[in-house]
Amino acid sequence: MTSRTILDKWLAPVGRRFGILTDRLGGRVLLHGGVTLLIGWLVLSLLVSRIHEHLVISQNERAILMVTRSVAGAMNTIMLAGDAEVAEDFIANLQGVPEMVDFRILRTDGSEAFRDNETIGIVNGRLGGQRFPLRKQAVPRQVMEKDAEALRQALAQNREIPVYGRDAASGGKRLTYLAPIPTQDACRACHGDGETHRGIIKLTMSLAKAEEEVVAARWWIFGMGALIGVVVMLLVFLVVRRSAVTPLERMAATLGDVIVPDRFLEVEGCQEFRQVAAAFNHMTSQLNAAWHGLRQERDKLTTILLGSREGIVVTDSTGAVALINPAAERLLGKSADRIREEGFLTLFDDPDHLGMLLEDHRHELPGLVYYNARMLQLHAATIRDAGGEPIGSAALIRDVTREKALEEELRALSNSDALTGLYNRRRFDTALLDEYDRATRYGLVLGLLILDVDHFKRFNDEHGHDQGDRVLQAIAGVMRGHFRSVDYPCRYGGEEFCVIMPSTGVAGVLRSAERLRDSVAKLSIDGLNVTVSIGVAIFPDEGRAGSDALVKAADQALYAAKKGGRNRVCHFIREAVVLRESQLAAPS
């Protein structure tokens, strides 16, 4: 978010109350310039006030430090003269000075001097006798802790240490200086050689007047800054209005004519405004040309969408349905309002499937959906920009119901015999290869029957080919009702038929072959009877060399059945043909 956006957001409530501030350029210049000057004025005023405060505090520190040093010199002179009583009076007088909050002489352990007889006793002991009289009332007072950081620092560094604080009652700011009093040679007779300092001066001054001066100066700085800011803001407003706002208002007043064909903006003024007008007029010409081109393309696209027989549904980047053509309404059986309301993913009432198509970027082939009693071909994809970000989705829907029906019909015709309706030779070859591979791979049993109509050539010569065709159709009808759905009854060629029987053992194949032979023998076709001979081969007992070997074994069994008298079933076993005598019928 830019600073201008943030500023507009903050000024929005003001703009709603005072519309002129945000609706007019002059108001925006005044408002934004005023806010900018206000912020600058506040920052500058704070900076100046802080500098002034620092200067005042520094001056007070220096003044109090000079007082502390003067008092320390005076105390040093008094003590060297041996006038302890004068020192006490000096301390009492200083405590009555205005702005002086506290003044004390402390020992190096933080206790107050001149309050007890401890020092007097030590000095009298060093000098011998009662050089200094003892106090009648000794009141010891511990002013600072012996281990106080400021006390230790003043003694260690042998310099004045400032300590700031607040008065507990009034809350006013105050400054305390701790000034060490070093032991001089003249002091060693009374205080000995082991002490580096005779004590510490503790002088506390109030900074209340300094604070009042800082506050007064701060208000003066803020007031003058505000006055200067208002004057500068008004001057800037007048200059900007005269040089920029007024020409822009004249330009805005003439922009309404630009929408009229062949009318362009004419603006008088400085060079910058003339350049703006020229650039705007050029942009207008380009936009007019682009608009006409887009309108032509829109008309073309509208014609394509409305006239297309394929359904088209398109979404925008948010997933909302943005375009629906009439073909989509017809194919889906839904109105455009319902499609928009339900959403793109529920076009076929299966959001998961359509979502999968949209997410699979590798999906290129169309999907088939059975919906609304139609077989629909669906192309669905997410459309992305150059950066890979989705900008919408599209679905192309095509009715392929008739095409799929024709496809199935053609597939059935390509695999079926035209006369009998059974599988043809081509389907037999492919099915035998598939079933042989499966039986080989999984160790299954595979049965194969080859049957031939007995004396069919003589039958055709005596009764005609039409009658022969009806015989073949009748046998095919018996075969369709006789075998399982997993079996493959086929017309092998001429009067020969064959049956592939997957996963069927020897006994099952032979029983099925015998029942088929018996059913055909009992069949009456226009008052005529025919019989068939059947050859049987079973994998893996036979045909281990391949599917062709299995066909050859079944064909040899058929030949044996023909040679043995016809109307019978023969089984090829281990390179020999076995005649099932229990199932022999009288030869025809």
What whole-number percentage of the chain has pLDDT above 90? 19
Using DSSP, state whether 404 is helix, strand or coil: helix
Give yes or no for a contact between 446 and 531, defined as CB atoms under 8 angstroms apart: no
Look at 105 and 85; give whichever has higher pLDDT: 105
Confidence of residue 376 (pLDDT cuts 50, 70, 90): confident
Q: Which of 470, 479, 529 is nearest to 499 (CA)?
A: 479
What pLDDT digit, counting tens, does each position of 558-588 carry? 999 999 899 999 998 755 555 443 344 434 3
Average pLDDT of every residue of the chain = 76
Residue 316 predicted with pLDDT over 70: yes
Q: How far apart are the C-alpha atoms of 393 and 482, rounded to whole Å? A: 54
pLDDT value at 41 more than 50: yes
Tokens at 402, concatenated: 């008739």
- The predicted model gives 156-173 an average pLDDT of 78
Mean pLDDT of 38-60: 74
pLDDT of 385 strictly over 60: yes
Tell which wins on pLDDT, 450 or 370: 450
Sequence-distant (6+) residues with CB within 8 A of 489 are 422, 423, 476, 479, 480, 482, 483, 497, 499
Domains and CATH numbers, the chain: 24-259 (3.30.450.20), 308-405 (3.30.450.20), 416-583 (3.30.70.270)
Query: Which pLDDT score is estimated for 512?
Result: 94
CA distance 405 to 370: 13
Q: Which of 77, 160, 144 is closest to 112 using CA atoms?
A: 144
Highest mean pLDDT among 73-87, 327-341, 419-433: 419-433
Q: pLDDT at residue 311 above 80?
A: yes
**Residue 488 exposure: Cα atoms within 13 Å on the Cβ side:** 27
Where is average pLDDT lowest: 220-229, 243-252, 350-359? 243-252
- Bridge partner list, 450: 498, 535
pLDDT confidence band for 329 (50 / 70 / 90): confident
Predicted confidence band at 160 (pLDDT cuts at 50, 70, 90)? confident
pLDDT confidence band for 69 (50 / 70 / 90) = confident
Q: What is the pLDDT of residues 471-529, one digit of tens each?
A: 999 999 999 999 998 999 999 988 999 999 999 888 999 999 999 999 999 998 888 89
Q: Which of 241-245, 276-280, 331-335, 375-379 has the highest mean pLDDT?
A: 331-335
> Residue range 455-465: average pLDDT?
88
Residue 249 pLDDT level (bands cut at 50, 70, 90): low
Cα separation values, 324 from 318, 319, 344, 371, Å? 16, 14, 10, 18
Q: What is the mean pLDDT of residues 206-220?
A: 76
Using pLDDT thresholds of 50, 70 and 90, give the confidence band for residue 414. Answer: confident
Does pTM top 0.75 for this prediction? no
Predicted confidence at residue 582, as pLDDT, reads 35
Q: How confident is residue 406, by pLDDT bands cut at 50, 70 and 90?
A: confident
Task: Please state whether the peptide bond connecting residue 502 to the residue before it is cis, i.e. omega within 30 degrees of 0.
Answer: no
**What are the tokens at 558?**
């058929």
Strand pairing report for 532-539 and 569-573: parallel
Rounded to 5 degrees, φ, ψ at 209 are -65, -35
Q: Say what the pLDDT of residue 585 is.
A: 42
pLDDT at 203 over 70: yes
For residue 430, report the phi and psi dihedrals to the nearest 5 degrees. -70, -40
d(CA 327, CA 397): 9
User: What integer pLDDT is reported at residue 48 of this predicted model?
Assistant: 75
Q: How far apart are the C-alpha atoms of 479 and 114, rounded to whole Å? A: 139
Confidence of residue 368 (pLDDT cuts 50, 70, 90): confident
Query: What is residue 550's DSSP assignment?
Result: H
Query: What pLDDT does residue 574 have?
Result: 59
Helix (H) / strand (E) element for 197: namely: strand 197-206
Q: Average of pLDDT values for 96-110?
A: 72
* Total number of residues shown for the chain: 588
